[in-house]
Structure 1
Amino acid sequence: MLHKNTQSSLTQKLYRAAQVKHLELEAAASVGLSKFELMQRAGKAVFENCVSLMPNSECYLILVGVGNNAGDGYITALNAVNAGKQVILCAIEPEREVQGDAARAQQAWLNNGGKVQAFEPSMLDRCDLVIDALLGIGIVGIIRNEFADVIDAINHSGKPVLSVDLPSGLDADTGESLGRCIKADVTVTFIGIKLGLTTGAGKQSCGQLVFEDLGIGKAFTAIARSDATALDLKHFKGLAPRPVHSHKGSYGRLLCVGGNNGMSGAIRLSAEAALRSGTGLVKAFVHEQSKFLVGAGRPELMVICNDLEEALDWATCIVIGPGLGRDDWSQDIFDRVLNFVEKNPKPIVIDADALNLMASTGSFVALSECVVTPHSGEAARLLNVSVEEVENSRFIFARQCAERYEATCILKGAGTIVDNQEHSWVCRHGNPGMATAGMGDVLAGLIGSLMAQEVEKELACQYAVSLHAKAGDIVAEKYGQRGLLASDLFDTVRTLINE
């Protein structure tokens, strides 16, 4: 049986920006900290991360706006100067009056002999590191031109960038760029990790994500409700050891349906992924022209092209879609599988071309124990929206997809999301090298494998997504991202699932 740690760490919980904004002061007060003391801790944490992550940087260009992020920037500047660093501090609107604790931080900087200058692009040539404290989590709507111009200059400078709390111009909840967005190398975020930093374009924009709870993390989590949870393979205890007295029938029977004529590779990847992750028996139902190609070289895999209903009855779980295609054969097979499962409920993973056929079906009947695994293009077709809309609000559309089809939705991509209609989980692992043919087929096989082995649906989805992405990271770290093949994951998946 698969186990997961029941206690979530602070870095597992994810929050909406409004929760952090409205509850951070209450959490700070509960441990005897003022807002300014919190700001001091934030600035100190930023500087310490600059030193540890970019130790050879001697000249900091710190860019501030007028909000609380600016206050963090001023405190960072004080810490840097006092440590002997050279600091150029620029405000986008230096003549604009700063309010509240940000004003207090600004005054402390001025009292220490610091200057606040207007930004000039030439300043980028003089610095070793850019610290982005321009815009915080309170920003709404498209950013103004004066900020957009500075962001463009920073992004084109080639200088390393550390963003304070989140990259300026990023929507903290969705990860959408608000017209322009800083492309940070490092983001140091505070109190609670914001949803938008973990998936899609937001994951790309924030670079390496560093979490600092500023000493109030536990107090904050006690009063704030987490909207989502980060997935990390280390949070799973893994599958229990197998009993000595067991046989192949003890570990599930998975039926993989797909492999149309000329599309044999996808179903082979799904089926072999299932074998490599421990399913006792795996059968592939394919087009008669694909039977030889799917079975060649993998004698442990049973390949059939007839008696579909008998195979469906045999299976403890079904994966449908890899290499299924979208012709008359595909439609007939799809209809027969879904009709069978509607009348004989059992776990099913609907992937790839099966999702496209499902999108074209006006009266889809909800299935029990169903998992759908779209990428953003397939999700857009399932929900009749644009791909851009899905990518700009990944959490929202993952939830909509789960609700519309009464299923657990796995929205694939950078920061893959698992949503069961009530809660979301987002994967920490994964890399751009995994954007290659067949990766989704392997994932579908892993999910089906675990469900065939009677791992509970949500846990199977979370573990499979984490296992798949972590294996991709390990292989990419060893051999490089370019040239990474989906089948390269098999040996690593086998190692990880046995740890």
Structure 2
Amino acid sequence: MLDTQLITSLSYKLYRADQVRENERVAAEKSGCDMFTLMQRAGEAVFKQCQHLLPNTDAYLVLVGQGNNAGDGYIAALHAKKAGKQVYVCAVEPHRILEGDAGEAQKRWLDAGGKIQKFSKETLEKAGLIVDALLGTGINSYIRNEFAEIIDAVNGSDKPVVSVDVPSGLDANTGQSLGRCIEADVTVTFVGIKPGLTTGAGKQSCGTLVYDDLGIGKAFLEQARATATLLDIEQFKGMGPRDVHSHKGTYGRLLCVGGNRGTAGAIRLSSEAALRSGAGMVRVYVHEASTVQVSAGRPELMVTDQDLEAALNWATCVVIGPGLGQDAWAEKTFATTLKHCQTHPKPLVIDADALNLLSKQATAYTIEDCILTPHAGEAGRLLGVSVDDVESERFNYARQCAQRYHATCVLKGAGTIIDNESKTWVCRHGNPGMATAGSGDVLSGILGALLAQGLERDIAAKYGVTLHAKAGDEVARLYGQRGMIASDLFEAVRALINQ
């Protein structure tokens, strides 16, 4: 059976920016170094990533602000200068003398013969690579115009960008763009990975995320408590070989409910995904107009449009929602299913239109063992907020959704979040090629199959999301992102689950 390895590595833990600020000094002292040493290490790490990204680039543009982020930028500039690069350092206020460790880094740059100039598009044109050290993790309000203008120019230039700790303009905790933010190719983040770099707009903006603990990781781990955990397929051992004496009943009886008139495809994808994920038997309850479309070409599915109650009694686990619709048939089917699962507790996955129906009558149902799988729009309806609200604070609304419905919430999107009311996980796999019709239906089928095979709810949610996303990455690696369709995932899911 599937198991998760105990992950203690900092590279799987997420820490809010304030946690890093509050604990890094003590962690540095316990590790035998001071804060300026950390700044020197950070600047060197940034330069190394620049070299890794574009080793033959001779002209660097380093954009600096006024905080410690700027100090890291000055150190990176020094390393580039010593390596024989042409380095342009541009600041919003070129004549401003910085204080503290950032001031020391600035002084060393000037003492080495470096200059600080005002940003101009002419300088931008000369650069082959940009180091973004404008704004760090301390900002939490909309950025000022002088910064916004530089960010717009950089994003419009198509020049490769390495961001220091966090792309400038991004809220490090939420992943929200504070008016606008740098679209980096690489982001080098220090001491602790910030949550906003792993989900939503933040995952897009940071490009390739590189983590460096600056040599104080062990002490920091002892000092600070993580707010969330990153999920990686390597954390899971897979389902492994089956017992020789097992039979189809050993692996659960899953009922998939949906497939209204004209929307048979969604429940077909979900139910076939369940078969490919190892469910022993899969029955599908659909509208009478959808029976042929769902069963055609897949005789292993037991498709029915009769006696929902009997199908529910047969099932050990239920998925409801793909292609369900919101008409009278859908409402009746939804009500029957949820009432049954209330009185006969069994694992339930609520997806798609079932989430929209749930949002209209949330107080009528409390299901003990339930996974909700909303995208941002569905989460907004479940919580009575806008899509923009959800996307601007994905961690907050995933937690709210889990708490309101006493369920495990899977908030889909770039960096899918899983929240069980007390703990939070973020999937590091997945790619934009998966933004295609039916991808979510495949996920609900995978989750249902894992629950049917006896996995505990949170393990099923974590593994199912990771499996689904990694399968998408495998398909993209082989064939590219464009043109990926939901059923392409089946073969990759099957291969991964057997590892």
TM-score relative to the length of structure 2: 0.99
Partner amino acid, structure 1, of 2:145: N
Letter in 2 for 1:382: L
SS at match of 1:150: helix
8 Å contact from structure 2 (residues 408, 421) kept in 1: yes
- Structure 1 letter corresponding to 2:76: T
Q: Does 2:316 match 1:316?
A: yes
User: 2:52 and 2:161 mapped to 1: Cα distance?
Assistant: 14
Q: Which amino acid aligns with 2:443?
A: L
Partner of 2:396: 396
The 5-angstrom pairing of residues 151-300 of structure 1 reads 151-300=151-300
Whole-angstrom distance in 2 between the partners of 1:11 and 1:480: 27
Aligned mates of 1:294, 1:8 — CA distance in 2 = 44
Aligned: 1:376 with 2:350: no
- 1:38 matched residue in structure 2: 38
Q: Distance in 1 between matches of 2:331 and 2:59?
A: 63
Correspondence for 1:468: 468
The answer as to whether partners of 2:339 and 2:365 remain within 8 angstroms in 1 is: no
How far the C-alpha of 1:241 sits from its partner, in A, is 2.0
Residue identity opposite 1:30 in structure 2 = K
Q: What is residue 135 of structure 1 aligned with on the other side?
A: 135
- Asked if 1 retains the 8 angstrom alpha-carbon contact of 2:240 and 2:497, the reply is no
Corresponding letter in the other structure for 1:451? L
2:35–2:101 contact (8 Å) kept in structure 1: yes
Deviation at 1:139, TM superposition (A): 1.2
- Secondary structure of 1:357's aligned partner: helix
Q: Which residue of 1 aligns with 2:6?
A: 6
Flag structure 2 segments of 5+ consecutive residues without an equivalent.
none
Give structure 1 regions of 4+ aligned residues with deviation exceeding 6 angstroms: none
Structure-2 residue corresponding to 1:82: 82
Task: Give the superposition deviation at 1:363.
Answer: 2.0
Shift in Å at residue 329 of structure 1?
0.1
Deviation at 1:362, TM superposition (A): 4.8
Deviations for 1:93-120, whole angstroms, at most 9, x for unmatched residues? 1122211000000111111111111111
1: CA distance, partners of 2:7 / 2:435? 32
Deviations 1:43-83 (A, max 9, x none): 01111111112212211100001100000001001111111
**Structure 2 CA distance for aligned equivalents of residues 362 and 82 of structure 1:** 63
Give the CA deviation at 1:182. 0.5
Counterpart of 2:179 in 1: which secondary structure? coil
Q: CA deviation at 1:221?
A: 1.1
Match of 2:493 in 1: 493
Distance 2:7 2:137 in 1: 28
1:53 lines up with 2:29 in the alignment: no
Q: Deviations over 1:108-145 (max 9, x none)?
A: 11111111111111111101000000010111211111
Cα displacement string for residues 361-389 of structure 1 (whole angstroms, at most 9, x for unaligned residues): 15232111100000000000000000000
CA contact (8 A) 2:398 2:409 kept: yes
Q: Is the 8 A contact 2:240 2:498 kept in 1?
A: no
Structure 1: gaps (5+ residues)? none
Contact 2:65/2:91 (<8 A) preserved: yes
Q: Which residue of 2 aligns with 1:410?
A: 410
Please give the secondary structure, in 2, of the residue aligned with 1:122.
helix
Map 1:324-343 onto structure 2 (within 5 A).
324-343=324-343
* CA offset digits 1:398-437 (Å, max 9, x no partner): 0000000000000000000000000111111111111110
**For the Cα contact (< 8 Å) 2:256–2:282, is it kept in 1?**
yes
- Paired residues, number: 499
2:430 aligned with 1:422, yes or no? no
Partner SS for 1:237: coil
CA distance in 1, matches of 2:149, 2:136: 17
Partner of 1:25: 25
Cα deviation, 1:319-358, whole Å, max 9, x if unaligned, reads 0000000100000000000011111110000000000000
1:69 alignment partner in structure 2: 69
Q: Output the amino acid matched with 1:169.
A: G
The change in CA–CA distance for 1:59 and 1:364 in structure 2 (over 3 A counts) is farther
How far, CA to CA, are the matches of 1:486 and 1:264 in structure 2?
14
Match of 1:307 in 2: 307
In the alignment, the residues of structure 2 paired with residue 444 and residue 364 of structure 1 have an alpha-carbon distance, to the nearest angstrom, of 23
Looking at structure 1, the residues matched to 418 and 7 of structure 2 have their Cα atoms a distance apart, in angstroms, of 19
Tell me the CA shift for residue 2 of structure 1: 1.0
- Provide, for residues 431-488 of structure 1, a one-character-per-residue CA deviation record: whole Å limited to 9, x for no partner: 1111110000000000000000001110110001011011101111211111110000
SS in 2 for 1:62: strand
Instruction: Report the secondary structure of 2:209's partner residue.
Output: strand
CA RMSD, 1 decimal: 0.8
Distance 1:198 1:467 in 2: 17
Shift of 1:280: 0.6
Distance 1:308 1:151 in 2: 57
SS in 1 for 2:334: helix
Q: Distance in 1 between matches of 2:395 and 2:366?
A: 21
| 1:96 aligned residue | 96
- Once the two structures are superposed, residues 19-51 of structure 1 have per-residue CA deviations (whole angstroms, 9 ceiling, x without a partner) of 011111111110111010000000011111111
Report the Cα distance in structure 2 between the residues aligned to 1:216 and 1:90, rounded to whole angstroms.
30
State yes or no: 1:446 paired with 2:446: yes
Which residue of the partner structure matches residue 363 of structure 1? 363
1-structure distance, mates of 2:56, 2:439: 38
Q: Secondary structure of 1:4's match? A: coil
- Provide the rounded CA distance (Å) in 2 between the counterparts of 1:356 and 1:220: 43
**Which secondary structure state, in structure 2, belongs to the residue aligned with residue 318 of structure 1?**
strand
Q: Distance in 2 between matches of 1:241 and 1:32?
A: 48
Matched letter for residue 473 of structure 2: D
